[in-house]
């Protein structure tokens, strides 16, 4: 099956963005390997520019816009924070005006960071519908281009660059665990990884309440409408529904087995990583860490010996820790 985003698009995206982003390190932890009885490799996107993987997709989108249009008036997006920071950062790098719509309740550290990159900040009601409407209105009024947090092919291609780097560095990976929200990262990684190494398995990791499993099994959008946020401490992955572009890709390429992680489990994994690995990760990253250390993982096919985990971000409001 072919998709509108190919490995070739992802490699081109990588060429476009590589000199501006960090090639993030792959971390390992002997304690975790011993506990899990497999080799675990962490792609440390918490050390990426702006503190999450999001600049990959944002910068690819914006640079491609500039290649394709003689005049770009500006950029607008909506985001719970990490994508907002990334777009603000990428727009400044591309020398374009930028406006970021964020839901009320966004951690102050993320809001400050967005403003720090020189973008205008617009607050909206904390619902998926409100942020889309506010964003659309600004786009129309100002003639700005929308850079979607996950449901655009250029965003998907940008996020896929993580898998290119990861498999270059650890070609022996048998599986990758990816925290999933709108599905941009998961679909990009799945397209790249499966094209490079068809035997690799991609497992989604969701916050409790997302209910992705039944949707994947039925290949149907069983979620309630209008779209909701999941009640989770991992505000980076609180979007319940996958995108309309990402969902078919995820259905096709990703395993049906979904790892589901509670708030309490995320907190435990977060503390473990901070204390043992000395690296600051946010709750959405911790979901992946919990998954790889879980009982469910222990019962997984033992031939999957080398497991990758995406530490997708490290933006934490340090004065309001979830414990």
Smallest separation, CB 174 to a second copy (Å): 26
Contacts (CB under 8 A) with a second copy, residues 130-189: none
Does residue number 320 form part of the binding site for a second copy (CB under 8 A)?
no
Among 20, 262, 271, 306, binds a second copy (CB under 8 A): 271
Q: State which residue, 71 or 278, has the beta carbon closest to a second copy.
A: 278
Separation between Cα atoms, residue 215 and residue 256, nearest integer Å: 9
Minimum distance, C-beta of residue 236 to a second copy, in the bound complex (Å)? 14
3 state DSSP class of 299: coil
**Active site amino acids:** 54, 80
Could you give the string, one character per residue 277-316, with x where binding to a second copy holds by CB under 8 A and - elsewhere? -xxxx--------------------------------xxx
Coil vs helix vs strand at 203: strand
Instruction: Examine residue 51 and tell whether it contacts a second copy (CB under 8 A).
Output: yes
- Which member of 46, 77, 152, 186 binds a second copy (CB under 8 A)? 46
Cα 105-180-210 angle, rounded to 5 deg: 70
Residue 215: both structure tokens together: 């949707």
Rg (CA), the chain: 18
- Among 292, 287, 239, smallest CA distance to 267 is for 287
Helices 153-169 and 7-17: crossing angle in degrees, nearest 10, is: 80
Question: CB-hemisphere CA count at 13 Å for 123?
Answer: 10
CB of 274 to a second copy, least distance (A): 5
- In the complex, which residues of this chain contact a second copy (CB under 8 A)? 46-47, 51, 109, 271, 274-275, 278-281, 314-316, 318-319, 321, 323
């Amino acid at each position: 099956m072919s998709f509108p985003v190919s490995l070739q698009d992802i490699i081109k995206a990588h060429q476009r963005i590589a000199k501006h982003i960090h090639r993030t390190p792959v971390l390992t932890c002997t304690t975790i390997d011993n506990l899990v009885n497999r080799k675990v490799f962490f792609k440390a996107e918490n050390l990426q520019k702006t503190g999450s993987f999001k600049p990959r997709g944002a910068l690819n989108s914006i640079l491609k816009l500039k290649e394709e249009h003689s005049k770009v008036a500006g950029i607008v997006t909506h985001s719970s924070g990490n994508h907002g920071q990334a777009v603000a950062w990428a727009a400044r790098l591309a020398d374009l005006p930028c406006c970021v719509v964020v839901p009320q309740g966004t951690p102050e550290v993320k809001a400050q960071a967005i403003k720090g990159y020189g973008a205008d900040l617009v607050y909206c009601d904390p619902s998926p519908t409100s942020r889309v409407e506010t964003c659309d209105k600004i786009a129309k009024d100002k003639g700005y281009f929308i850079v979607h947090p996950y449901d655009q092919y250029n965003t998907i291609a940008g996020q896929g660059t993580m898998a290119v780097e990861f498999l270059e560095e650890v070609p022996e990976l048998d599986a990758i665990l990816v925290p999933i929200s709108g599905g941009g990262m998961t679909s990009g990684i799945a397209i790249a990884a499966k094209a490079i190494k068809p035997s690799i398995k991609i497992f989604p990791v969701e916050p409790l309440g997302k209910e992705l499993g039944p949707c994947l099994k039925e290949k149907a959008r069983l979620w309630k409408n209008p779209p909701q946020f999941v009640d989770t401490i991992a505000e980076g992955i609180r979007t319940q529904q996958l995108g309309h572009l990402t969902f078919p890709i995820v259905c096709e390429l990703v395993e049906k087995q979904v790892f589901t992680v509670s708030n309490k489990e995320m907190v435990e994994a977060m503390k473990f990583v901070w204390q043992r690995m000395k690296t600051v990760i946010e709750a959405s990253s911790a979901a992946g860490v919990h998954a790889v250390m879980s009982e469910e993982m222990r019962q997984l096919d033992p031939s999957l010996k080398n497991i990758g985990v995406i530490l997708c971000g490290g933006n934490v409001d340090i004065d309001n820790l979830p414990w």
